[in-house]
Structure 1
Amino acid sequence: MTGRFPIEDVTPAVSGGRYPAKAVVGELVPVSAVSYREGHHALGVNVVWRGPDGAIQAFTRMTPGEPGLDKWHGAIRPDEVGRWTFTVEAFDDPYRTWRDAVVKKIGAGQSAEELANDLAEGADVLDLATKIVPAEDEDRVRDAAAALRDTEKSLFSRVTPALDLEELLWHNPVRQLVTTTRSFAIWVDRQRALYSSWYEFFPRSEGAEIGPDATPIKHGNFRTAIDRLPAVAAMGFNVVYLPPIHPIGRINRKGRNNTLIARPEDVGSPWAIGSDEGGHDAIHPELGTLEDFIAFRERAEELGMEIALDLALQVAPDHPWVKQFPKFFTTKADGTIAYAENPPKKYQDIYPINWDNDYRTLRDEVHRVVMHWVDNGVKIFRVDNPHTKAVNFWQWLIPKVKETNPDVLFLAEAFTRPAMMNGLGKIGFTQSYTYFTWRTTAAEMKEYMQQLLTSIDWMRPNFWPNTPDILHESLQNGGPPMFKIRAVLASMLTPSWGLYSGYELFEHVPRPGAEEYIDNEKFELKPRDWAAAERAGRSLAPYLTKLNRVRNDNPALHWLRNLRFHEIDNGALLCFSKRDPETGNTVLVICSFDSSNVQWGNTTLDMPALGLEWHDRFTVVDQITGASYEWGQYNAVRIDPFVEPAHVFVVQAR
């Protein structure tokens, strides 16, 4: 900053402005800054926004917040994907200075004679204003200046036209001694970057057949997996995430349940990528051809869904890169290539990448692979373990892809240390997996959400109750009510959520001593009889459909910045709301964390957060059961998890 007035603590400014903040098209992005000046003269503050083309899009006057703190607030709603920038400006506001002084002096009883200089100075300010206001308002401002100079009129008649210009000159101020900050950047994505519902399934399991001891008889493929897409779309999911679809290595292939020795018929882990059949740019022959994949993608798009592909930068020992680019890997003292380890775990079927041996060749090759899939219609990538790859590589790759394809999105599967997770968000990842799975009490969840809200400008959370790798103890032992509880929390707390198939069938049996599934689909085909489960009433699909319909129908749930918590006097219950300021749509959720017992609670609602006055009465309509209640600030709630473990209310003001 250079200029006359201090401007401090500008937000959003990620790491002091080193990285762009994040927003999506249509999102109301708040901007704030601290600015102040000496004496009693009025200070004005505004924010100037420039769109991706560099042209000024908006001049937004900022308003002061809590008195005495000198913190100013504004907002913008970007309407285009790309890199936006903004600056904050502080300025001397002579009209407000004049107006405040004249109002006080008239209130103190001063006469026109005593105010002669003030009236003359005000007229001079309005002369300047005539050159600033819209053309249709020029005569009004000019007449007000003339009135201030007209000594034949009463004091009241002379000042009133000028005083009535307050709103006009708030939005079109006379600005003097303008001070400007440096430029700050915001990367604006398409809306799916913030609001999305993901469903993960293995195409090889759809249409597959297995025999005794999970012996594969028939391998599913893209053509058979197409038949699963209508059911996924009917549940309201809009992103279909596929584990790696590439050839699977044969050397050191893992068997069922991650055993070290595979049977000849074992299909292996899709994350052990590459064989003599191809690498990251190839498709497993048993899944089909590139044309089959495109047909699968096009059918998903017809149903209103996008395909997300897994980007796992690791290889099987027989991946083509091992021979073509041996410097991509780490060679041990005995001349062998190091396989992946996370002691005591060993992954003999996977070679990790070395990011320091041949960096430029490596990055260009990965960029080529990514663009191959982008060119074939893939706009979303779920990135496997990005925290085990060089951070500066992602900082190069993601902007490189967005140079030509700004609508491509990247989800970070990074269950790791907070600094790394936040860092990946800062350098460009669109969304991130989170610690949601391990927040199993209302207090833990509230605290965690409040932490996430502080990082909203750079890390967008995506909540998953389960993954092929993660079957939390709460799902292992909590029964069907816990499956509902975790789905409600994931889908209502954040705009983006996802789950791994089998969740709707209440799959919950772990491998002994592990937080993952027995007979894990990562290592075997797992065909499921979806229709039989639905006929028998043993499917959660209708409930998931309701949750996604509620999300779709209520714009309040499309955002994260609007999350507010409310007091409830039972630690087993969490009460929170979201309100869309543009439509007034308000959703209020009360969810139990106890899947075994009835819980009672008494709410103390933050009424302004619901768009209501403290004394208002209103109607809440449960979107799950259809029941309605008349409520106020204080309400008693009973939740029976075997009936419904949560209320998902839409608030209707009287």
Structure 2
Amino acid sequence: MTGRLGIDNVSPVISLGQYPAKGVVGQVFPVSATVWREGHDAVSATLVVRRPAGSRGGRAKITMTPETGDNANPDRRHAVFTPDVPGIWTFRVDAWADPAATWYDAIAKKVNAGQSAETLANDLEVGARFFERAEHKAARADTAAVHAAVTALRDESLSLEDRLAPAFSEEVREALRRRPVRDLHTRGLEFQVHVEPLSSSYGAWYEFFPRSTGGRAEDGTPIHGTFRTAEKELPRIADMGFDTVYLPPIHPIGEVNRKGKNNSLTPTSEDVGSPWAIGSAAGGHDAVHPELGTVKDFIHFRKAAEKLGLKVALDLALQCAPDHPWAAAHPEWFTVLPDGSIAYAENPPKKYQDIYPLNFDTDAQGLYSEVLRVVRLWIERGVRIFRVDNPHTKPANFWAWLIHEIHSTDPDVVFLAEAFTRPPRLYGLAKLGFTQSYSYFTWKTNKEELTEFAESIASGADVFRPNLFVNTPDILHESLQKGGRAMFAQRAALAATMSPLWGVYSGYELYEHEPVREGSEEYLDSEKYELRPRDFDAAEAAGESLAPWLRFLNDVRRQHPALHQQRNLHLHETSNDSLLAYSRVDPITGDAILVVVNLDSRSIQEGSVTVDLPAVGLAPKPGFPDDLGIQDSFPVTDLPTEQTYTWSTENYVRLDPDFQVAHIFQLPTVPEERRTALAFRDEDYDPRG
């Protein structure tokens, strides 16, 4: 906006302020703006932050720091605040003329040019009058020092140096920083930040099917699992360091058009069907599949998970089997074809004859109300996390309404959008309120693709929180089919360190990699259509499991706050396109991690890594200079091997995928004086504005 003073390019602002940016309790939230005025007089800015309604404390005013140095944009200002409670925070940037800075700059230049006290008589009196104003604003402890500056500036018996000395003292400068004199105050626009707890933006998910936990009969036939047998899997999952267990739909499965093994259209009476074909005579979205147990059994399962530090995420798939109770009671909630039949779901060339998609336009009020009832019912049953199936196929205004309704009473409820779709929809759903989102990480495999992906998720941190699943029941990427066991370790290392959120679908630790056919991303004997019991303990005992590596990755994530951040992801140059290097830094603790991954799962790769020293706090950052100098050499500890090396700007690395797919280096702790600067990404201080 432009008032008496100019305030432009405030960041972060989402869609011109239509949606709130996203923040996290306990993590810094950086704000930048361009402020300017006519002429040469100094201008400053204040970040004004208001806490959520009903929380203790009022507003905070933080003087914004200008950029300085050779590459600085002198009109750009920066400040951070650290929200300590969840809720809707607001911020604005106010600009104001800074008479103190104007006077200090002018008098210093004139004195340095050799002008005398007589020549500077007016300047000295202007200063005296300014400090009289400052004395009235100063804190009680500072008034004497400020008054002394007034007296000295008017004392013609003193030398020019002595007349100026009190005004230039650090004591007076500090008094002005505490209580600045502001002229021409211009109020900026107010913007919102939706601050959520750390658990909303940091986590390690493990997906499994409770129905596959029943083991096998003596003849090898799989036995349908229950919530009680699924409970036996929880200690193993918790031991690997995961904190969220995600269950595919647990509702009754339709009988009509039920799919057989490998998505066949000719099921037998033994086939269990797809959990995403929800609803039968046994009930719909508010019921549980009878073979899994009862609602009481589910609650027992949830409580058992919570005792182990695990949260339970439930699938919210708004679609129905043909025999779902809604299909009979509310045919208006579906799309009826000209021949009178209800349209089943399609995603050409895929066909889902066992699923009816919902039509949200024919009876919006009735359908909206029913979905809200269902979600609130599961919240009453203790579910606080919902993985939402295909939200991009439902109206945007529906999600905006539903999430707002839920968050108005239960603001901690998490919604994860399983939306593999174009960026406007991905980011649009995040703007509407989805807490987390699936991403295209699964398909990013080479250095160019991963670099672009890393830059996009870091720059989009104010709105988009990607959950990097290495696989899903629907996605067995070609790299896992053909890359060997090292590829599984490599992809886990990337997902676990590239984002605060990552996920694994059960069987990944057993290196399951057989597709249903060449060129397909579907698993052979997909668990979506049949029971798939596994013996995880035997595999780990035989050294045939990736579980130890997953356990290590999750342990490193817990110990290092740098890996809880998203916006701090920074790429570093490597001489080999099969090596990817990136760092993460926590601006509060100074914790710093640098990861180097071998992207070639079949061959040894070696080359040099060029460490961007300012990005990891080992040198001043452009636009944020300091006097700490440059650290030419520094120790790094490789966490997987616990070996320590001395590094500098250029460093040799060699990674043999048969032994180690990635270095995860602990870097020196960033000095406190440099941490705030690292909260801002490069584009925030680009001198081109």
- Asked if TM exceeds 0.5, the reply is yes
Q: Secondary structure, in 3 states, of the residue corresponding to 1:209?
A: coil
Mapping of residues 228-377 of structure 1, within 5 Å: 228-377=233-382
Identity between Structure 1 and Structure 2 (%): 54
After superposition, the C-alpha distances for 1:383-435 in whole angstroms (9 at most, x for unaligned) are 10000111111111112111111111111111111111111111111111111
Aligned-pair CA distance for 1:171: 4.3
Greater CA drift, 149-158 or 492-501: 149-158
* 1:196 lines up with 2:203 in the alignment: yes
Residue 131 to residue 286, structure 1, CA distance change in 2 (3 Å): farther
**1:62 matched to which residue of 2?**
64
The residue aligned with 1:386 is 391
Report the Cα distance in structure 2 between the residues aligned to 1:512 and 1:171, rounded to whole angstroms: 69
Taking a change above 3 Å as real, the CA distance of residues 138 and 492 of structure 1, as seen in their structure-2 partners, is: same
- Tell me, in whole angstroms, the C-alpha distance in 1 between the residues paired with 2:217 and 2:161: 92
The match for 2:101 is 96
Q: Is the 8 A contact 2:280 2:324 kept in 1?
A: yes
**Shift of residue 225 of structure 1?**
0.8
Residue-by-residue CA offset, 1:64-91 (whole Å, 9 max, x unaligned) = 2353452211111111111111111111
* Distance (whole Å) between structure 2 residues aligned to residue 168 and residue 434 of structure 1: 50
The residue identity in structure 1 corresponding to 2:197 is R
The correspondence for 2:191, drawn from 184, 200, 208, is 184
Question: 1:113-155 deviations in whole A, cap 9, x for unaligned?
Answer: 3222222222222232234333332333233223323334333
**TM-score (normalised: structure 2):** 0.92
Task: Classify the secondary structure of the residue corresponding to 1:300.
Answer: helix
Alignment of 1:555-634 (within 5 A): 555-613=561-619, 614-634=630-650
Q: Distance in 1 between matches of 2:201 and 2:660?
A: 28
The whole-number CA distance in structure 2 between the counterparts of 1:378 and 1:360 is 25
Q: Is 1:146 matched up with 2:151?
A: yes
Cα displacement (A) at 1:2: 5.6
Which of 541, 549, 562 aligns to 1:543? It is 549
Aligned partner of 2:687 in structure 1 is none
Q: 1:205 aligns with which of 195, 212, 217?
A: 212
Alignment partner of 1:527 is 2:528: no
Taking the aligned partners of 2:303 and 2:175, their CA distance within structure 1 comes to 52
Aligned partner (choices 666, 669, 685) of residue 650 of structure 1: 666
Residue ranges of structure 2 left out of the alignment (5+ in a row): 620-629, 671-689
Structure 2 counterpart of 1:312, one-letter code: A
Residues in 1 aligned to 2:484 and 2:251: alpha-carbon distance in whole angstroms: 36
Give the aligned partner of residue 482 of structure 1: 487
CA contact (8 A) 2:455 2:570 kept: no
User: Which of structures 1 and 2 has the larger relative contact order (alpha carbons within 8 angstroms, sep 6+)?
Assistant: 2
CA distance in 1, matches of 2:126, 2:287: 76
**C-alpha separation between the residues in 2 aligned to 1:504 and 1:25?**
32
Q: 2:129 aligns with which of 120, 124, 129?
A: 124
- Residue 580 of structure 1 and its aligned partner are, at CA, apart by 1.7
Deviations 1:468-517 (A, max 9, x none): 00000100011110000000000011111001010001111110131121
Q: Which residue of 1 aligns with 2:681?
A: none
Q: Give the whole-Å Cα distance in 2 for the aligned partners of 1:13 and 1:630.
A: 42
Inter-CA distance 259–167: structure 2 relative to 1 (3 Å threshold): same
TM-superposed CA distance for 1:27, in Å, is: 1.5
- DSSP 3-state at the match of 1:539: coil
Secondary structure, counterpart of 2:596 in structure 1: strand
Cα shift at 1:582? 2.2
- Secondary structure at the residue paired with 1:317? coil
Residues 346/305 of structure 1: CA separation in 2 closer, same or farther (3 Å cut)? same
Alpha-carbon contact 1:615-1:633 (below 8 Å) kept: no
| Among 488, 500, 523, the residue aligned to 1:517 | 523
Aligned match of 1:49:
49
Given that 2:590 and 2:669 are in contact with CA atoms closer than 8 Å, whether structure 1 keeps it comes out as no
**Does residue 640 of the first structure (1) align with residue 656 of the second (2)?**
yes
Asked whether the 8 Å contact 2:585–2:592 carries over to 1, the reply is: yes
CA contact (8 A) 2:139 2:175 kept: no
What is the one-letter code of the residue matched to 1:644? Answer: Q
From 95, 104, 107, the equivalent of 2:112 is 107
Letter in 1 for 2:61: F
Q: Distance in 2 between matches of 1:210 and 1:135?
A: 83
In structure 2, the CA distance between the partners of 1:211 and 1:14, relative to structure 1 (3 Å rule), is farther
Q: How far apart in 2 are the matches of 1:7 and 1:239?
A: 43
Change (3 A) 1:319 1:33: same
Indicate conservation of the 8 Å contact 2:214/2:533, yes or no. yes
Judge conservation of contact 1:268–1:523 (CA < 8 Å) in 2: yes
Matched residue, 2:682: none
Q: For residues 203 and 377 of structure 1, what CA distance do their matches in structure 2 show?
A: 18
CA RMSD of aligned residues (A): 1.7
Report what 1:5 is aligned to: 5
> How big is the shift at 1:210?
5.8
* Segment of structure 1 superposing worse, 253-262 or 107-116: 107-116
Match of 2:435 among 423, 430, 447: 430
CA distance in structure 1 between the partners assigned to 2:459 and 2:387 by the alignment = 24
Confirm or deny that 1:25 pairs with 2:25.
yes
- 1:320-379 per-residue CA deviation (whole Å, 9 max, x = no partner) reads 111222211111112111111122221111000101101111111111111111122211
Aligned mates of 2:84, 2:179 — CA distance in 1: 23
- Structure 1 residues 133-142 or 173-182, which shifts more? 133-142
User: What is the aligned partner in structure 1 of residue 625 from structure 2?
Assistant: none
Query: 1-side partners of 2:137 and 2:278: how far apart?
Result: 64
Residues 1:136 and 2:152 are matched in the alignment: no
Match of 2:468 in 1: 463
Q: Map 1:446-457; keep pairs closer than 5 Å.
A: 446-457=451-462
Q: CA deviation at 1:189?
A: 0.7
Query: Shift of the alpha carbon at 1:639?
Result: 0.7
Could you say which residue in structure 2 is the equivalent of 1:34?
Answer: 34
Look up the equivalent residue of 1:574 and give its one-letter code.
L
Which amino acid counterpart does residue 204 of structure 2 have in structure 1? S
Counterparts of 2:582 and 2:411, CA distance in 1: 34
Kindly indicate whether the alpha-carbon contact (under 8 Å) linking 1:208 and 1:525 is maintained by their aligned counterparts in 2: no
Structure 2: how far apart are the matches of 1:629 and 1:577?
17
Q: Within 1, Cα distance between the matches of 2:207 and 2:252?
A: 19
Measure, in 2, the Cα distance between the counterparts of 1:288 and 1:305: 20
Distance 1:68 1:644 in 2: 43
The alpha-carbon deviation at position 244 of structure 1 amounts to 0.7
The TM-score, its normalising length taken from structure 1, stands at: 0.97
- Counterpart code for 1:647: H
Q: Is the 8 A contact 1:577 1:587 kept in 2?
A: yes
